[in-house]
Chains A and B, each alone.
Chain A
């Protein structure tokens, strides 16, 4: 089961301000309702715990949906929704004993805001599951604690679960539609990319062949053709063959000793040539981060160091970039690192005062 975030790393960048807004609105709304209905709070301790549960849900949601982290798991998102539900349960319990109505509760509204916030991070089915998982106990609790007669209880339950059920349905619809659009695009893009790669491969193959012939045609091929035509080998020919072999071997050793990482980093420590085991998308995302940091003036010239070592069946990489400044760097990096997160599973970023360290691991070929 896929989500918009799982398919498109940029979804997290687009959703981020909305999530921050939802968390802020949740906390603000809870504070407002508590302040205006203070007389209905029978147990301040339980209400404090309810607020604590909501704040925890907000903090976990904020951290889990960071562009600098991998997509939150189903368990993590269910935990966040569970905390929001717990906040509602504690809020309801805090009001038992005092005259109150469901219309004075903040718990269902904040639960609704939390549910809509995770729409980009889980599949539609999972969102529906979490919505029902939150609404059913919430509805049971409302039925048990609110209303004096069956009809008012039914109305209270319906009204109480309306915000989370409506936003849960909206979140699921959003996730399903976005996932469908992204899948359709990926299908098209994959076909187009396959054609483009074939074309590219053909162009590059021609260029590589030309370079090879340029290297060989200057001296080596004429020499070998001369030997073939004469049918005999002289002592100077043998010496010449040795010299040419030596030069050719040196050229090939030099060529074999460099790879894409040398073009990106100023210092490379990669004894086992592990950089070559990174795929095009992994290289692209790292190149984009480094290139954009350089272009924007964040990277200190000559400061980019890369170190790749083999650890079991993985390649462990560390890229260190010296910084000229850090103001606004996290925001600047967010979209680039979100992509790196998608291509380099488990990529980790550490932003210090003077340098930025990117750590990643990829499976060895």
Chain B
């Protein structure tokens, strides 16, 4: 459900990111222009290039002001716009008024003036919080171009439209409009993806809980019905009536993920399973620490003993032996439990689809909580069921 950045929030985030981008773009351009002017001024002190320093500093100060505004007032923008115009006039007239025409063209003054107009275009886009930034970019470009024309007045420089700055301004306006359109397009797809994702999440949760529920029904009610179906008519043994009563209580009262599931002493559950199966007639040899499930999350610590119990039940019912070995290997990153018997074994592919014990009560129960089950068996060669669960990480 966290796949798609919601469109309205994406629009705000993109806008904020663009503001940072525009600010740094303008800052680097003003900064490098400043350095270029310093180098130019040191080489040609007679051209009074130092007059451009306050203009470039002023540009950058305006960019800082504009980037720090939350929602700038119109009068503040007007003041800053006029200041930017004045700085551009000063910047351009520095070169137009004091630099000889040959030096003006050779040393890149034209480029620096274009760079200032381009940086003002981005500063304008940065200041515009009401539209996509396109209007601000146009105004910024207008200030840069207007300042250039005013700065050239009275000089012998040819006055023309700044092609490079114009191309950049058009590109910026188109790109900003395109971003709005693209975000809108992504926004159309977003809800559909989020909805499908939410449905998938519900289905996934339901599937996990249905598996648990099915495993519970299998281990209790289906088990009791099978016992009754194969019992001889007559008075029921107390063990059977007690087991039926317990199963009815479990299916009636147990939720599939409620607090009751996680209550009680989880670490003792594996020990109880072994005790129950021994009482049922299976001789279980245990190697390792039965309390190792303390290293598991509560849902895994519940699933593991239940799966182990079904594996032991299967040994007693189907393997033809009454001996089983339970090996517990606990490591910080995972807990592995192996149920082994030397009975008749089986081929998993030959197990009928109606045989649900290994599938529902062992494999699905374990995979539902992020574990894995491997079955090693072949006819006549005994069976090993290896259950691995990740530790509590």
Contact = CB atoms under 8 A, between A and B. Distances in A.
Given A21-B175, A200-B202, A276-B207, A232 B367 contact: no
B353 to A, nearest CB: 6
B4 A159 contact: no
B61 interface: no
A178 B17 contact: yes
B174 interface: yes
A169 B189 contact: no
Interface residues of B, number: 111
Contacts of B234: 232-233
B83 interface: no
A119 B181 contact: no
A342 B112 CA distance: 44
Contact of A252 (B192, B207, B214): B214
B3 A342 contact: yes
Contact of B251 (A167, A174, A197, A216): A216
B233 A284 contact: no
Interface string A332-362: 0001100100110000000000000000000
A169 B209 contact: no
B28 interface: yes
B226 interface: yes
Q: Is the interface of B mostly helix, strand, loop or mixed?
A: helix
A186 B2 contact: yes
A144 to B, nearest CB: 17
B334 to A, nearest CB: 13
Contact of A231 (B23, B178, B233, B236): B236
Interface string A13-36: 111111001000100010000000
Interface stretch (B254-262, B302-310, B320-328): B254-262
A177 B196 contact: no
Interface string B1-42: 111111001101110111111111101110011011001101
Interface stretch (A46-54, A235-243, A319-327): A235-243
A59 interface: no
B367 A280 contact: no
Interface string A133-149: 00000000000000001
A9 B3 CA distance: 8
Nearest to B17: A177
A224 B36 contact: no
B10 A14 contact: yes
Interface string B322-363: 000000000000000000000000000000011010011000
B160 to A, nearest CB: 15
A159 B241 contact: no
Interface in A188-246: 189-190, 193, 196-197, 200-202, 204-209, 211-213, 215-216, 220-221, 224-225, 227-228, 231-235, 237-239, 241-242, 244-245
Nearest to B175: A18
Interface string B269-312: 00000000000000000000000000000000000000000000
B1 A189 contact: yes
A237 B248 contact: no
A122 interface: no
A4 B198 CA distance: 23
B244 A224 contact: yes
A330 interface: no
B218 interface: yes
Interface string A60-92: 000000000000000000000000000000000
A257 B111 CA distance: 72
A93 interface: no
Closest 9 CB pairs of A and B: A151-B43, A284-B197, A288-B196, A335-B189, A181-B13, A284-B200, A241-B228, A177-B17, A245-B225
Given A227-B236, A232-B236, A287-B199, 7 more contacts: A7-B5, A159-B111, A238-B229, A256-B360, A276-B364, A280-B201, A284-B198
